[in-house]
Chain A
Amino acid sequence: MLYRENMEQKELREWEARCIQEEPPLCRAGCPLAVDARAFSQAMAKDNLSAALAILEKGMPLAAVTARMCEAPCEEYCVRGNLGGAIAIGGLERTCIRLAPIKRKRLLLPPKSKKVAVFGSGPSSLTVAFDLARKGYPITLFHLPPAPGSWLRDVQESDLPQQVLEEEIKYLESLGVRFCSIAAIGKAACDGSGCDAVYIGRDDEVAEDLAELLAGPDEQTFALARSGWFTGGLCSQDHVYRFITDISQGRQAAVSIDRFLQGASLTASRVLPRKGRSNLFTETSHISVRLPIVPADAAGFSREEAVEEAGRCIDCQCLECVRHCVYLAEYGSYPKAYARRVYNNSAIVKGVHQANTFINSCSLCRQCEVFCPNDFSMADLCLTARELMVLEKRMPPSAHWFALEEMNSAGNEGALIRHAPVAKASSRLFFPGCQLAGIRPEQVLRLYDSLCGQVPETGIWLDCCAAPAHWAGEAELFARKMKRFSTLWGEMGSPPVITACSSCLKMFRENLPEMPVRSVWEVLAEDSSLQPTLESSAPLALTDPCTSRHDEVTRNSVRTLLTALGQRLASLPMSGEVTECCGFGGLMENADPALARKVVQARVDQSEADFLTYCAMCRDQLAKTGKPVVHLLDLLFPDIAHPASEQPASLSLRRVNRRQLKSSVLKRYSPQEQPDMLPWEDLSLAVAPEVAAVLDKRRILEDDIRQVLYRARQRDAYLVHGKTGNRIASARLGEVTFWVEYREKQDVFRILRCWSHRMTITGEQ
């Protein structure tokens, strides 16, 4: 594949830094060796001893000794600590190493030319020998008689069997470490080693004459004043974490020696022990207390006990956003990894853009921003990527096609802006939004009438707020639309605007700051004449549209209205600021209809109660699941309420409704004033419900069918089946070729099947 620099590396790093999911869990951050204790506990909980052992071996030098001797400072940091008691990670390590003996593979490394002398054979010295021998350095380890091991030789057999220590020393020999017994570790021996680097472990007996040379090692690198000399193992005998701290110092010294011998900086980009510092956030409010497992045998956990004890591990993760978002969970990862995926996708010049659907499926609902301790925004990440795709002309043409068609239709044949009949000016303008106009034209009119009842000079403005263009990443188109809105609004005298849709409200507020705009629910909530008529009705689960997330005033106004009406509410956990999208937002439904269905199903599953919403799109999206969903207008205008169980309006009906609404409004000015009928508009269709359902799924409108049939009739051009007499007609309408199979009888077209494609046929008209 070919890549290019698009989303700058720096930009990617900034995105990545915001997501803390890859920060280490506190146990790991608290381990001087950064052993992945979380993964270890998880493996133990699954009774997967070999995986658990592999984690210990990866993080520990001489794991057979270290796992037995480690004092487990990690337990101090364990999040389970306040929820029953820390996981006995040290005990689990010992159980693991006892039950799963290490099988070491022989490493054959090309030997390096630089030599290292290690003095002393305490834990730190053995660590230096282990780490550097595995890098191929020839090591000579000078120890006091009778045998290497220093104070480890004095540990009681039950804690560290001497045989285990012997085997680890044999392993070091197999790596090429040469063991030399010397009478004393003193200046003369160290001076005369003839090696390129020297390590002197203080966790062994060291002669007095070295005292001056060993003074004041660097706290991070363990380098001594003399070049090429290093030390470690500095803990006093009564240090509570003596063993593991000395091991850690040996490891840090080994890193320094390797860097020194390669002529590299000892400090540049060095990863230092975190000493328990981590930015990982773990929500624990849902975690109940579980007490530690006490081993029946004082010698340690049985295998079953170990599984149970490890099972108490919380598996600390952030995943705050992923836990609540079907979309983020669907792709199996988390925002930091997603940022890389989006970055790679934008960098590909030639090759498959695997993340296009991923980028186009985010509902841009911004719930993740609320849950993220660092405000990571998938919406901003995806929207930026979409805008780039559009700019570079690599947005899949079909990705948002239908939504943009809908926007255009609502902005053309469905659009209207007028002062109230007989009024010469507007003191405010009502903008119901194209979705409400599409599903509830009669309720829109009633709502408009009640607004006019309050203030007679209320003008009306029918259009789409251009949210689809914004969501599709069509920044230029969106800016053009906003400019046009600004002009139209100015021509109306720049009055305050009232919307019945939270998305319109958000689009106007964020993009036309000069336009004063508020929600119709806020306006209605100021009306004190409402009567509590709904006190006896069943409680409803009120779902806030995602575009009202940060609009507390509107959300509260809706609740004020409902209280005034006496409507009781059932609880819905994800509400208000943490509300969820219905699957339409961000054009998710266009990019991935199957995912949108999952999202909406997960939403309705959150309450047994019927749902209530004040967003037209939410009403019909949620109703797709079969869940009864009430729109707030059904409660406000019970005489023209739609049944809660009503299926969503078809795409075709939405178009008809918008035209009808416009026509009804125009009739109020003068009965003659009507929009021009399109020549195909009165073609009579008969569409069976099962055919209509398929049409909707395929996003084929009755308007499209009428145009195809009208053309076929005009040109007298179609195909006829030799036996059944069925006809097939087709026409290219915009970006798509539509095909209709039908029968015609007495000027009624019975529609049998319809399909479409985007490819063009050479010579097609």
Chain B
Amino acid sequence: MSLSFLPKDMNWLCRPCGVPLEPGIVELRYLGNVFKVELLVCPKCSAVLISEDLALGRMLEVEQLLEDK
């Protein structure tokens, strides 16, 4: 998995922290595999945004690859 998956629209704020999400490194796991990727993250509470494009695109692809589906 390549590293950066920042959405085109970065204008998201975290509730309740009230601060804008920022690019940050997040760990994703599936079937014993770990990936470090760059996503939008809340700098205070670490809430993450996984966009629709990412979930149904590259992420699904990798999931299916790891599943041997």
Contact = CB atoms under 8 A, between A and B. Distances in A.
Interface of A: 352-353, 356-357, 394, 396-399, 716-723, 727-728, 730, 737, 739, 741, 753, 755-764
Given A352-B68, A739-B55, A398 B13 contact: no
A753 B9 CA distance: 15
Contacts of B20: 722
Contact of B63 (A352, A727, A753, A759): A759
A761 B12 contact: no
Contacts of B8: none
A759 B27 contact: no
B48 A761 contact: yes
Contacts of B45: 717
A654 B67 CA distance: 29
A760 B11 contact: no
B55 A755 contact: yes
A759 B59 contact: yes
A356 B29 contact: no
Contacts of A722: 11-13, 20
B68 A719 contact: no
B54 to A, nearest CB: 8
Interface residues of B, number: 32
A761 B16 contact: no
Contacts of B63: 398, 757-759
B47 A719 contact: yes
A716 B18 CA distance: 12
A720 B21 CA distance: 10
Contact of A762 (B12, B26, B56): B26
A352 B68 CA distance: 6
B55 A757 contact: yes
Given A757-B50, A761-B48, A719 B14 contact: yes
Contacts of A397: 31, 67
The residue among B21, B46, B49, B50 with the most chain A CB atoms within 10 A of its own CB is B50
Contacts of A353: 68
Interface of B: 9, 11-16, 20-21, 26-31, 45-50, 52, 55-56, 59-60, 62-64, 67-69
B21 A759 contact: no
Given A719-B14, A720-B15, A757-B60, 17 more contacts: A396-B64, A398-B67, A716-B15, A718-B15, A719-B15, A720-B13, A720-B14, A721-B9, A722-B12, A728-B49, A739-B52, A757-B55, A758-B30, A759-B29, A760-B28, A761-B26, A762-B29
A762 B35 CA distance: 10
**Highest count of chain B CB atoms <10 Å: which of A353, A723, A756, A762:** A762
A356 B50 contact: no
Contacts of A757: 50, 55, 59-60, 63
Contact of A761 (B28, B52, B64, B68): B28
Nearest to A754: B52
B56 A755 contact: yes
Contacts of B56: 755
Contacts of B69: 356-357, 396, 398-399
Contacts of A755: 52, 55-56
Contacts of A356: 68-69
A385 to B, nearest CB: 13
23 contacts: A353-B68, A394-B68, A396-B64, A398-B64, A398-B69, A716-B16, A717-B47, A718-B15, A719-B15, A719-B47, A721-B12, A721-B13, A722-B13, A730-B50, A739-B52, A741-B52, A755-B56, A757-B60, A759-B59, A760-B30, A761-B28, A761-B48, A762-B27
